[in-house]
Amino acid sequence: KDDTAQLKITNIEGGPTVTLYKIGEGVYNTNGDSFINFKYAEGVSLTETGPTSQEITTIANGINTGKIKPFSTENVSISNGTATYNARGASVYIALLTGATDGRTYNPILLAASYNGEGNLVTKNIDSKSNYLYGQTSVAKSSLPSITKKVTGTIDDVNKKTTSLGSVLSYSLTFELPSYTKEAVNKTVYVSDNMSEGLTFNFNSLTVEWKGKMANITEDGSVMVENTKIGIAKEVNNGFNLSFIYDSLESISPNISYKAVVNNKAIVGEEGNPNKAEFFYSNNPTKGNTYDNLDKKPDKGNGITSKEDSKIVYTYQIAFRKVDSVSKTPLIGAIFGVYDTSNKLIDIVTTNKNGYAISTQVSSGKYKIKELKAPKGYSLNTETYEITANWVTATVKTSANSKSTTYTSDKNKATDNSEQVGWLKNGIFYSIDSRPTGNDVKEAYIESTKALTDGTTFSKSNEGSGTVLLETDIPNTKLGEL
């Protein structure tokens, strides 16, 4: 019983805390020189010839709940990815690896020192990345969960994803699932995404694909693939919470996709409009319980950690100034149309007391500005002005990040009998190229726009500041001066 053997766990990553719980110790003859058998802590059930993943996990659950009292507990340090412990005499341990800084999940590991046919105390090194030998042999002793988020429906500009008001953004999430054993008590697989204020989430666009098949999300939020319920989803604030049933997933990762519309609260410039998806899971499957409360996303701790991935979309503004052609006095009340390169009307703006007007309906690209109605007492300027919005040209900061626009589906109420600029559905504006699905979609016209406040300021700044100011003022000639 004074023999020693080195217990080793190799290939450890993420710097977890390694704790050994002694659950079995050798019974020797009265002289202490002949091993008889193992004595186990109360509550331990173990097949010595082939301990299964289920048995190992059940023991770890009992240790964490206090139902199983180990004979002793040892903390083991890690050196070069290996945890080493010198065991004295025949003994059996459960190793729990917790708190890995990279978010890695470790299932419980069984270590044993026992005698071979020659009477030598021996053990086997355990690779933390290997699968269990008995029981659920498809389950790995460690896994590194992850989440990847992508966004489409944007225009790339200097490695930035840019968009414009009314545009529909499509998001997709893919995962690396944790590896849990059947007997794990904490099998949390939970996804949460809440849009920033400048994005309007569309819960009806939420789709889940699993095993190559699209799930049906029922009225109560159940995520069904044929007759298998793999999770449940709920719209929460401006986003969703979705809890998956781990055992139903069969270790096959689902794919999630959904859409959002850019609204008039989108932040202009380098701050952008972030959107973060969070993936919560257990990094200690034998502690706590599976979290599935859809009203509130889980907090970290008690066996739960998370990974996240964010995407930021950027919006721009174009601005210009209207002045008297002679005195250069700013002119209020001039109405302009903003057009894309295909001459589609995308916005209507009105100059304020200081002669400024601004349009937030642009992403990266070229646009045209054309006067629709001259200020009172002035002739119409028939010239078309071109302006380019991008990260490099957006060098102006303004105190105005948006303007108020009222849309109508009644063409007779359109400003100056203007053409269609987009679509309306459930009170949400969509750009002309982003027609939503469904039968309740109506054409959108601009009924009115509110000019910038008179105190709106413009100042030169760095690239990516958000606003592109037309370099030349747009002149108007007084009637009678022609």
Residue 60, in any domain of the structure: yes
Q: 416 or 77: whose pLDDT is higher? A: 77
| pLDDT (tens digit per residue) in 168-192 | 999 999 999 999 999 999 999 999 9
Residue 402 maps to a domain: yes
| Mean pLDDT rounded to a whole number for the chain | 92
Per-residue pLDDT of 42-56, as tens digits, reads: 999 999 889 999 999
Quick check: 400 and 453 in contact, CB under 8 A?
A: yes
Report yes or no: 444 and 453 within 8 Å, Cβ to Cβ.
Answer: no
Give 281 or 267, the one with higher predicted confidence: 281
- pLDDT value at position 4? 87
Q: Write out pLDDT tens, residues 182-225.
A: 999 999 999 999 999 999 999 999 999 999 999 999 999 999 99
- Selection from 56, 14, 300 nearest residue 181 by Cα: 56
Domain of residue 151, CATH code: 2.60.40.740
Phi, psi dihedral angles at 207 (to 5 degrees): -130, 150
What is the pLDDT at residue 416?
Answer: 80
Are residues 339 and 235 both part of a single domain?
Answer: no
Last residue of one domain, picked from the residues 142, 163, 183 = 142
Assigned token pair, 89: 């005499």
pLDDT at 224: 97
Among 19-23, 86-90, 478-482, the range of highest mean pLDDT: 19-23
Listed residue (239, 422, 448, 454) closest to 353, CA to CA:
454
State yes or no: pLDDT of 33 exceeds 70.
yes
Number of domains the chain contains: 3
Note whether residue 457 is domain-resident.
yes
Q: Which pLDDT tens digit goes with each residue over 352-371?
A: 999 999 998 898 999 999 99
Q: Which residues, 6+ apart, have CB-to-CB distance to 427 below 8 Å?
A: none
Whether 482 is in a domain gets the answer no
The alpha helices in 199-274, defined as continuous H runs, are 246-249
Helix and strand counts by DSSP (H, E) for the chain: 2, 39
Is residue 53 a contact partner of residue 180, using CB atoms and an 8 Å limit? no
- The confidence score (pLDDT) of residue 217 equals 97
Given a contact cutoff of 8 angstroms between Cβ atoms, the answer to whether 251 and 245 are in contact is no
What's the average model confidence in pLDDT over 378-403? 87
Overall average pLDDT of the 121-147 stretch: 90
In a domain, 238, yes or no: yes
Longest Cα–Cα distance of the chain, Å, equals 123
Strand partners, 256: 173, 208
d(CA 178, CA 256): 17
**Is residue 195 included in any domain, yes or no?**
yes
Please tell me whether residues 123 and 167 are part of one structural domain: no
pLDDT digits (tens, 9 = 90+) for 328-359: 999 999 999 999 999 999 999 999 999 999 99
Among residues 291, 311, 331, the one where a domain terminates is 311
In a domain? residue 128: yes
Which CATH number is 66's domain given?
Answer: 2.60.40
Clarify whether residues 164 and 252 are in a common domain. yes
Q: Domain of 437? A: 316-476
337 in the same domain as 296? no
At 402 the pLDDT is 55
pLDDT tens for residues 57-114?
999 999 999 999 999 999 999 999 999 999 988 899 999 999 999 999 999 999 998 8
The answer on 25 and 110 residing in a single domain is yes
C-alpha separations of 200 from 258, 271, 276, 398 in Å: 11, 18, 14, 24
- Do both 220 and 361 map to the same domain? no
Residues 16 and 51 in one domain: yes
Let me know the angle formed at the C-alpha of 183 by 177 and 189, rounded to the nearest 5 degrees.
30
pLDDT at 438: 87
Answer yes or no: do 279 and 402 share one domain.
Answer: no
pLDDT of residue 138: 83
For the entire predicted model, the pTM comes to 0.89
CA separation for the pair 133, 130 (Å, rounded):
9
Domain boundary among 109, 142, 175: 142
pLDDT of residue 415: 86
Quick one: which of 266, 277, 307 has its CA closest to 429?
266
Residue (of 131, 113, 110) closest to 123 by Cα position:
113
Query: What is the percent of the chain where pLDDT is above 70?
Result: 98
State whether 354 and 431 are in the same domain. yes
Residue 326 sits in a domain of what CATH number? Answer: 2.60.40.10
